[in-house]
Structure 1
Amino acid sequence: MVNNWSDNPEYEHFKYVTAIQSWIKTQPHLPQNIHPILLQRFIHSVYGNVEKAKKLIENSFSMRNNYAHIFLKRDPLSIESKQVFEVADMLPLPYATKENYKIMLYRLANTEAEKFNFTEAIKMFFMVADVRLICMDANEPNSGWNGEVPVFDMNGFSLRHVTCVVLSVLRVYMKYTQECHPVRLRSIHVINCSPYLDRIMAIVRPFMRKEVSKLLHFHKPDSDTLYKFIPKDLLPAEYGGKSGEVKEIKSKFVKLFDSYRDYLLDESRWKLNSINKNNRGSVNVEQEVSGNFRTLCID
């Protein structure tokens, strides 16, 4: 783990963390021990704008508590969590691009649709994200994080998987990642596009903002178009790269991920405090998020 992360020049906004921590003390409905690196992520995602960071934090924790079945009571070592990792790969790749964009790979590890639990997969997605947001070197040798590039591999995804999608959970996923997630999203890549892609996108697009849809890139099976955006060498061996085999990358990351169990289980870091019926923590994030904050983390 990187201990002197505040000395990294890429984290010039660290100086604002103390100001945010002082502000949190005046907001007793918020968790009072939010990890300082997570606070730094919020600040960094909005380019050092402290007021925007405050509202992003408010919205993030409000939404987490409004959908506690996804964001709270999370155990990396639970049977459900282990089953998700048996079915799906959700992996930070070991190397970043020259712009210091981190690459995330999502794909099915087991293509049997009856083993695919969409709600648990989304819950795991946010668990993995929360670990990566505070883990400076999450299986990566360089410690900055100037943006994120997710890669979704559709190989093995069938119409039976589509029937597993829970629309209410998809809506939460899309809303949080587009409005409350403290990362700078740079581009989104869908590879090995299946014949069912149109049906899948018909489900997803109603929840997708125009700014995000512009970041989408689709790549046909056996094409090399992905390499125009991500250097081939940064990808796993299965994709022609040199970053190691997926199972090797996954094994290292899962071990790291499991070591953050106490952090994820500690609800004092995530749960709003109920003070009174007028507590701001009880406000519905559906009404709280303003139009200005619909473009916070999208470049």
Structure 2
Amino acid sequence: MEGMFKVTLEDEFKKNPELKAEDIEEIQTWMKTQPHLPSVPDLMIVLFMHACQWNLEDTKKTIDIYYTLKTEINEFFADRDPTSQEIKDIAKVNPIVMLPQSDPQGNRILWIRLNECDPKQYDFAASVKYNTMTTEVFQLENGTVPGLVIVNDCKHFNASVFWSTPMKLGSSYTRFTQEAASYPVKACHYINAHSFLEKCFSVIKPLFRSKVYELFHMHSNMESLFKVIPREIVPKDYGGEGLTLEELNELNLQKLESYRQYFQDERTMRVDESKRVGKAPKSEFMDWTKGWWLSAMRKLSFK
């Protein structure tokens, strides 16, 4: 797996003065005491260390949760074939791209849009699969970057789409993004936001850690977004100067297809629970499928 990276450890040491060889060695030594975990390349460990702000104990926990969830949630992480009809179909409905250029802080922009469609065409699990495949390939090619900024175009996100999302999978994905991400998220911007989305957020707010919820920003127009993301790197169909989102989406699909072998090999990077020593890391995440908020969600009237 190490050979799939386009960056080297030397590159990472140059980018990150906080990175120490002895810290990588400590994580690798710890992993030898965790026989349930797969063999993780040094460069992958660096990604987790960076996402955890170089805190080694947090890094260990995140690595364990990352591979545990990748093993448990087959809907997201099994059969990840970029040439499959599943990925081609979701890419048409739900373009997901990493913009080619960084923002002034060096962050990279993940742009997501749900096109107008019959809710039956929207497959949440396939969307997450396409999303994680995109971010993984980006990290293979770029290694660490200061952070990830996510832009969600919510114009066609409505009640039908919301209720078509299996609650258990929504809960699983929220846990994965909050407890197992291999990159630091700096901001989540929602454009073409409307009252339905605001209503959703008012209900699901307790599900997010406060520091995560603080990253969410609603925008009623593009001029508001241009204050934080330069116009010149934004897709042309959003008033920017870059390629259109569809053009970028097609390029992304082509790139993912070139990593088909990686996704086949990556299937072995899973945990073996029969070899786990002790208990799995305890989750700090509130389960979507239980608790007071579930009854509140069911009573909420979406127009």
Residue 231 in 1 paired to residue 238 in 2? no
Residue 6 in 1 paired to residue 10 in 2? yes
Q: Which consecutive unaligned segments of at least 5 residues does structure 2 have?
A: 286-303
Report the identity percentage: 25
Q: CA deviation at 1:3?
A: 4.2
Q: CA deviation at 1:87?
A: 0.8
Tell me, yes or no, if the aligned pair for 1:84 and 1:120 is still in contact at 8 Å.
Answer: yes
Equivalent residue, structure 2, for 1:26: 33
Instruction: Indicate the SS of the match to 2:112.
Output: strand
Instruction: Indicate the SS of the match to 2:186.
Output: coil
Higher mean Cα deviation, 164-173 or 62-71?
62-71
Equivalent residue, structure 2, for 1:184: 184
Tell me, yes or no, if the aligned pair for 1:91 and 1:104 is still in contact at 8 Å.
Answer: yes
Equivalent residue, structure 1, for 2:244: 245
Summarize the Cα distance change of 1:289–1:261 in structure 2 as closer, same or farther, 3 Å threshold: same
Q: CA deviation at 1:235?
A: 0.6
Residue 74 in 1 paired to residue 80 in 2? yes
Q: How does 1:136-285 map to 2 (within 5 A)?
A: 136=142, 144-202=144-202, 204-220=204-220, 222-267=221-266, 269-276=268-275, 279-280=276-277, 283-285=279-281
The Cα offsets for residues 125-162 of structure 1, whole Å up to 9 and x where unpaired, read as 222222222221xxxxxx75111110000122232212
Q: CA deviation at 1:176?
A: 1.0
Distance 2:217 2:32 in 1: 43
Q: CA deviation at 1:110?
A: 4.4
Summarize the Cα distance change of 1:97–1:216 in structure 2 as closer, same or farther, 3 Å threshold: same
Of the candidates 39, 42, 45, which is equivalent to residue 45 of structure 2?
Answer: 39
Instruction: Indicate the SS of the match to 1:187.
Output: strand
Q: CA deviation at 1:56?
A: 1.3
Distance 2:136 2:222 in 1: 33
TM-score by length of 1: 0.83
Tell me, yes or no, if the aligned pair for 2:75 and 2:125 is still in contact at 8 Å.
Answer: no
Tell me, yes or no, if the aligned pair for 2:7 and 2:140 is still in contact at 8 Å.
Answer: no
Letter paired with 2:283: V
The Cα offsets for residues 144-189 of structure 1, whole Å up to 9 and x where unpaired, read as 5111110000122232212212111111111110111122111110
Instruction: Indicate the SS of the match to 2:185.
Output: coil
Letter paired with 2:84: S
Q: CA deviation at 1:203?
A: 5.5
Equivalent residue, structure 2, for 1:295: none
Tell me, yes or no, if the aligned pair for 1:31 and 1:271 is still in contact at 8 Å.
Answer: yes
How large is the RMSD of aligned CA atoms in angstroms? Answer: 2.4
Distance 1:268 1:22 in 2: 23
Equivalent residue, structure 1, for 2:283: 289
Distance 2:137 2:277 in 1: 27
Higher mean Cα deviation, 236-245 or 22-31?
22-31
The Cα offsets for residues 25-65 of structure 1, whole Å up to 9 and x where unpaired, read as 33221111x34332211011122223321221112112222
Tell me, yes or no, if the aligned pair for 2:109 and 2:149 is still in contact at 8 Å.
Answer: yes
Distance 1:115 1:63 in 2: 26
